[in-house]
């Protein structure tokens, strides 16, 4: 990466789930004024890019991912003046703001769908996907919803079905109609003209569906648990034509200076990298890479995933990594509290742009909820597997301090979701005073990444450590070579590295031990420990080690 690298290549993305970050007005739901009040905290984390989950007007059937107006702010979160102030304050601190864009589907209460539903001959009828019933009655085909049941809802008034891959209250837009994309681009224009720095585009690979509406084939590997996984979704996601649509969105975005487009895609590496736009890089700047979330937490597996991704990246493509978001179980819940620091060190030392999820810096855990307290639609629609598909546990309020409601809301206010049982001890205030806490480590790690060009922009090369549970790799540039060692296991390990130097300087350990010089030949990784070390200037690294890097 050159010295002229863009802000989104150098920076760290931090996702804020607005409902759960900070309540400022006593209604138990986070809002824009609350985010503004916490911007200094975010700035102190050394994060550069704040990504907000949807804040548009919405009936909230899917908590904002059912958009009723793409160019306004839901009063639940505040006003447009609150948003303008948030954007100004973010920029004043030298940070950037990225919004969620939800183009695949709108709310059933969006004026576009209200018009579409009003009559078969309405000009906006074809803006959405309508079909006649099957010849024998019932849905037009076997397509399924992510949230359970058919992907079709019958409209009594018109005698047709409309399509939705999520809730019935989230009808799918028809991007094969020539007026739909320009309408969505106009919505993007509204925010870009305000100065928003880019968009994270929801389910970007699902924007086009099979024009022949063919049934999807059965999935021979289905485990019989989640209905949606009983089919192979070859006609409703990742159609080849979707790349042309994404190119048009990217070309439009490029009409503004240096803005960012992130695509949400849950795909294997070989399919994911196609969304960069191959060698011309004319699609997503960052097709979100969720491999670290989906892969087993095993050193050998993670190394293989990283090496494969690096090898498959198109020319000029910039990598990215994600360890948590609003749809996935929390990092510390997935890998355990002992491994959470190792995971964050991995995320923040790999080559590419890292994305963090609010609360992971303090080790927040999923909050177990009984079905009676769940609000997430996939859980309520599929109660028999609510514990598998419900996303409420990872969306609970941010834990700021030991006061009532953990500082998220005033005392006596009922928060929209319950707080964690450990919020009085696991919170920002208690950890801020302890440099060795998870928060202290996270700040030290982000500061090191910011200070070291080798971490922000240097090469990556994995190494054989000749030890189970150890993932070792180099990060380097012309001025410095860093060695990262991560112990994924609960036993002490003594890595045997293909490096000729006798010693290296420890810059940071997950154990937060003091920086010192260590002998590489005698180096020991404690259980659940990660290290970043600087190799001496002019280090002699085996030619075979660097042959691919």
State the maximum Cα–Cα separation within the chain, in Å, rounded to a whole number: 78
| Opening angle at CA 474, ends 472 and 480, nearest 5 | 145
Task: Tell me which residue of 409, 400, 484 sits closest to 30, measured CA to CA.
Answer: 409
Asked whether residue 549 carries a pLDDT value surpassing 60, the answer given is: no
Second-level CATH architecture of 459-546: Sandwich (2.60)
Catalytic residue among 31, 82, 264, 469: 264
> Model confidence over 196-207: pLDDT tens digits?
999 999 999 999
**CATH class name, domain 111-163:** alpha beta
Q: What is the pLDDT averaged over residues 421-442?
A: 97
Give residue 262's pLDDT.
98
Percentage above 70 pLDDT, the chain: 97
The per-residue pLDDT of the chain, averaged, comes to: 96
Query: What is this structure's pTM?
Result: 0.97
Q: Which residues contact 274 (CB under 8 A, 6 or more apart)?
A: 243
What residue ranges do the domains of the chain occupy?
Answer: 11-106+178-446, 111-163, 459-546
Distance of CA 366 to the CA centre of its chain: 17
What Cα–Cα distance (Å) separates residue 416 from each residue in 217, 225, 374?
Answer: 40, 29, 10
| Opening angle at CA 472, ends 468 and 477, nearest 5 | 175
Residue 538 banded pLDDT, cuts 50, 70, 90: low
Q: Which uninterrupted H or E stretch holds 199? A: strand 198-201
Q: Is 353 exposed, middle or buried (0-12, 13-18, 19+ CB in 10 A)?
A: buried
The question of whether 376 is a catalytic residue gets the answer: no
Asked whether residue 545 carries a pLDDT value surpassing 90, the answer given is: no
Residue 278 banded pLDDT, cuts 50, 70, 90: confident
Give residue 501's pLDDT.
73
Task: Tell me which residue of 310, 312, 420 sits closest to 362, measured CA to CA.
Answer: 420
| Paired strand residues for 262 | 200, 286
> Model confidence over 367-425: pLDDT tens digits?
999 999 999 999 999 999 999 999 999 999 999 999 999 999 999 999 999 999 999 99
Residue 500 banded pLDDT, cuts 50, 70, 90: confident
**Distance between CA atoms of 274 and 462, rounded to whole angstroms?**
24
Distance of CA 549 to the CA centre of its chain: 27
* Residue whose structure tokens are 């089919």: 231
Catalytic residue among 100, 197, 202, 452: 202
Asked whether residue 66 carries a pLDDT value surpassing 70, the answer given is: yes
Asked whether residue 113 carries a pLDDT value surpassing 80, the answer given is: yes
Asked whether residue 351 carries a pLDDT value surpassing 80, the answer given is: yes
H-assigned helices in 132-223: 180-194
How are the residues of the chain apportioned to helix, strand and coil, as percentages rounded to the nearest 5? Answer: 30, 15, 50
Residue 537 banded pLDDT, cuts 50, 70, 90: confident
**Distance between CA atoms of 395 and 374, rounded to whole angstroms?**
11
Residue 479 banded pLDDT, cuts 50, 70, 90: confident
The question of whether 155 is a catalytic residue gets the answer: no
Give residue 541's pLDDT.
58
> Model confidence over 295-335: pLDDT tens digits?
999 999 999 999 999 999 998 899 999 999 999 999 999 99
Task: Tell me which residue of 339, 439, 420, 370 sits closest to 47, measured CA to CA.
Answer: 439
Residue 539 banded pLDDT, cuts 50, 70, 90: low
Asked whether residue 59 carries a pLDDT value surpassing 90, the answer given is: yes
**Distance between CA atoms of 225 and 544, rounded to whole angstroms?**
47
> Model confidence over 138-168: pLDDT tens digits?
999 999 999 999 999 999 999 999 999 999 9
Is the domain covering 11-106+178-446 a CATH 3.40.50.2000 domain? Answer: no
Q: What is the pLDDT averaged over residues 79-95?
A: 98
Give residue 544's pLDDT.
42
Q: Does 111-163 match 459-546 in CATH topology?
A: no
| Opening angle at CA 281, ends 276 and 286, nearest 5 | 40
Q: Which residues contact 457 (CB under 8 A, 6 or more apart)?
A: 1, 5, 9, 10, 477
Q: Which residues contact 184 (CB under 8 A, 6 or more apart)?
A: 70, 103, 173, 249
Task: Tell me which residue of 16, 93, 6, 15 sits closest to 352, measured CA to CA.
Answer: 6
> Which has more pLDDT, 46 or 3?
46
> Model confidence over 282-298: pLDDT tens digits?
999 999 999 999 999 99
Asked whether residue 345 carries a pLDDT value surpassing 60, the answer given is: yes
């Amino acid at each position: 990466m050159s010295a002229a690298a863009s802000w989104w290549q150098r920076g760290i993305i931090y996702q804020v789930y607005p409902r759960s970050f900070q309540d400022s007005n006593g209604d138990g739901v986070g809002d824009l004024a609350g985010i503004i009040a916490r911007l200094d905290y975010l700035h102190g984390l050394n994060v550069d890019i704040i990504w907000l989950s949807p804040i548009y007007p919405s009936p909230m059937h899917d908590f904002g991912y059912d958009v009723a107006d793409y160019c306004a702010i839901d009063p639940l979160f505040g006003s447009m003046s609150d948003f303008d102030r948030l954007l100004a304050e973010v920029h004043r601190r030298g940070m950037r703001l990225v919004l969620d864009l939800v183009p695949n589907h709108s709310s059933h209460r969006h004026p576009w769908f209200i018009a579409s539903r009003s009559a078969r001959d309405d000009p906006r009828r074809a803006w959405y996907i309508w079909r006649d019933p099957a010849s024998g009655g019932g849905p037009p085909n076997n397509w399924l919803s992510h949230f359970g049941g058919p992907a079709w809802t019958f409209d009594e008034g018109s005698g047709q079905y409309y399509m939705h891959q999520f809730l019935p209250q989230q009808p799918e837009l028809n991007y094969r109609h020539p007026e739909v994309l320009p309408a969505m681009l106009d919505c993007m224009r509204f925010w870009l003209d305000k100065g928003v720095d880019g968009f994270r585009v929801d389910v970007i690979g699902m924007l086009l569906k099979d024009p022949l509406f063919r049934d999807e084939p059965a999935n021979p590997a289905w485990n019989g648990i989640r209905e949606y996984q009983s089919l192979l979704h070859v006609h409703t996601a990742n159609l080849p034509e979707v790349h042309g649509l994404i190119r048009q969105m990217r070309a439009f975005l490029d009409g503004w200076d240096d803005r960012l487009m992130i695509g949400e895609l849950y795909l294997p590496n070989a399919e994911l990298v196609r969304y960069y736009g191959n060698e011309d890089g004319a699609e997503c700047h960052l097709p979100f890479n969720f491999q670290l979330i989906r892969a087993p937490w095993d050193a050998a597996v993670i190394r293989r995933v990283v090496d494969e991704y690096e090898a498959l990246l198109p020319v000029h493509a910039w990598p990215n990594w994600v360890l948590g978001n609003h749809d996935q179980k929390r990092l510390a819940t997935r890998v355990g509290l002992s491994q959470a620091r190792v995971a964050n060190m991995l995320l923040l030392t790999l080559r590419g742009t890292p994305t963090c999820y609010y609360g992971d810096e303090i080790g927040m855990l999923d909050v177990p909820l009984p079905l009676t307290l769940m609000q997430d639609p996939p859980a309520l629609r599929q109660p028999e597997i609510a514990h598998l598909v419900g996303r409420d546990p990872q969306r609970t309020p941010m834990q700021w301090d030991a006061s009532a409601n953990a500082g998220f809301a005033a005392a006596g206010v009922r928060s929209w979701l319950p707080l964690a049982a450990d919020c009085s001890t696991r919170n920002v205030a208690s950890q801020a005073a302890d440099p060795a806490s998870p928060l202290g480590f996270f700040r030290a790690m982000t500061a090191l990444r910011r200070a070291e060009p080798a971490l922000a922009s240097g090469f990556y090369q994995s190494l054989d450590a000749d030890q189970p549970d150890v993932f070792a790799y180099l990060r380097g540039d012309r001025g410095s070579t860093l060695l990262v060692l991560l112990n994924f296991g609960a036993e002490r390990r003594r890595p045997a590295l293909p490096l000729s130097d006798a010693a290296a300087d420890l810059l940071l350990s997950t154990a937060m031990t003091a920086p010192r010089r260590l002998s590489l030949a005698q180096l020991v990784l404690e259980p659940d420990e990660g290290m970043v070390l600087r190799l001496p200037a002019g280090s002699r690294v085996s030619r075979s080690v660097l042959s691919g890097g």
